[in-house]
Amino acid sequence: MTKKTTIKDIAKKTGLSTTSVSRVLNGKSEKYRIAEKSKQIIEAAALELNYVANHFASSLKSGKSNTIGLIVPSLSNPFFANIASNINAEVRKYGYTTIIVDSDENVEIEKTVLQQFIARNIEGLIIIPCGKEMEHIKNVYDQGLPLVLLDRYFEELEIPYVSTDNFEGAYMAANLLINHGHKSILCIQGIIDSTPNKLRVKGFKQAMKDAGIENFKVVGDAFSVENGYSETKMMLQNKVRPTAIFTLSNTIAMGCLKALKEENIRIPQDISLITFDDHLYLDFLATPITSIAQPVEAICKIALKNLISNLNEKEKTVKQVILKPEIKYRESISNIKN
């Protein structure tokens, strides 16, 4: 195994002190007035010897890790993968590194990861909670760790969060179907206890109530392909089928599409479809799917700006931000008014 190059190796090669080498490699040559020529000699030697800085050791000395933790419920979900990508890009702009972990929609994994993050001395945390348990999150926040909840949040907690107006988005989706003449609508929901799901179901039901429609169902229990597939399959066994389906995530929509295809159900000729959460793939299907798009890029930028602000301030500020969604109208909804 090749021996790792150390500061002592560079000092030996250049004939300069380990203190001077350390200051140059830590970007403090100007502060300590190290000559430009010495700086260039040290940097050239570090490059030649393939020196890699030990950031863990540096963080022990400085008390700072320059690391932000990100916990998402599922990286296999395109929506959360998109969030992770955007957060990672934003974190780099602030000079930090991101550690991204998938909790697999398991609150016990979430708790374990949180403790591991603290042991790694992360400076801040962005988390999309996977369940209704909140004490472990509240505890680390109360102990002083700057954190921001993203997408999913707890309405009763005074903790910063950034999310979408899920009630309004679902109301818009249901209203769009209603305005196209649909009165028999199936809503396939995600994790029942999550705040976004509860608000989406509430918005859907309110739109139906305002239109005086009672012929609708809310089924399902997970933001997964399997949930969308199984609930659609069961619905298709009924003699009377809905004229439209509203899925509360694009992963649920994927499963729904698979089931409809297997049964040779055409979209939108036989059944119309709209989904919450937009994704690039929805544009490239045989029938592009109408969606309620969340402003993911804006959500991530605001969340990180909020987090960095709390990192730099002595007193934490609680900023709870809700952003407006928009309809991406495509070809999956038929007009059956007449």
Q: For the chain, what are the domain ranges?
A: 7-53, 66-164+296-324, 166-294
Task: Report the alpha-carbon distance of residue 226 to residue 228 in Å, rounded.
Answer: 5
pLDDT in tens, 84-93: 999 999 999 9
Return the biggest CA–CA distance within the chain: 88
Task: Report the alpha-carbon distance of residue 69 to residue 147 in Å, rounded.
Answer: 9
The class (CATH top level) of 166-294 is alpha beta
166-294 matches 7-53 in CATH topology:
no
Q: Are 172 and 324 in contact (CB under 8 A)?
A: no
Buried b (16+ CB within 10 A) or exposed e, 253-274: bbbbbbbbeeeebebbeebbbb
pTM of the shown model? 0.81
**For the chain, where are the E strands, in sequence order?**
67-72, 97-102, 124-127, 147-150, 161-164, 185-188, 216-219, 244-247, 272-276, 290-293, 320-323, 326-328
Written as one letter, the residue type at 13 is K
Half-sphere exposure of 180 toward its Cβ, with a 13 Å CA cutoff?
Answer: 23
- pLDDT per residue rounded down to tens, the chain (338 residues): 456 788 899 999 999 999 999 888 877 788 888 999 999 999 899 888 877 665 545 554 555 678 999 999 999 999 999 999 999 999 999 889 999 999 999 999 999 999 999 888 899 999 999 988 999 999 999 988 999 999 999 988 999 999 999 999 999 999 999 999 999 999 999 999 999 999 999 999 999 999 999 878 999 999 999 999 999 999 999 999 999 999 999 999 999 999 999 999 999 999 999 999 999 899 999 999 999 999 999 999 999 999 999 888 766 677 899 999 999 999 999 999 86
Specify the CATH superfamily of domain 66-164+296-324: Response regulator (3.40.50.2300)
Q: What's the full length of the chain, in residues?
A: 338
Contacts of 183 (CB under 8 A, 6+ apart): 211, 213, 215, 243
pLDDT in tens, 195-240: 999 999 999 999 999 999 987 899 999 999 999 999 999 999 999 9
Write down the CATH number for the domain with range 7-53: 1.10.260
Q: Are 244 and 274 in contact (CB under 8 A)?
A: yes
Q: Are 183 and 215 in contact (CB under 8 A)?
A: yes
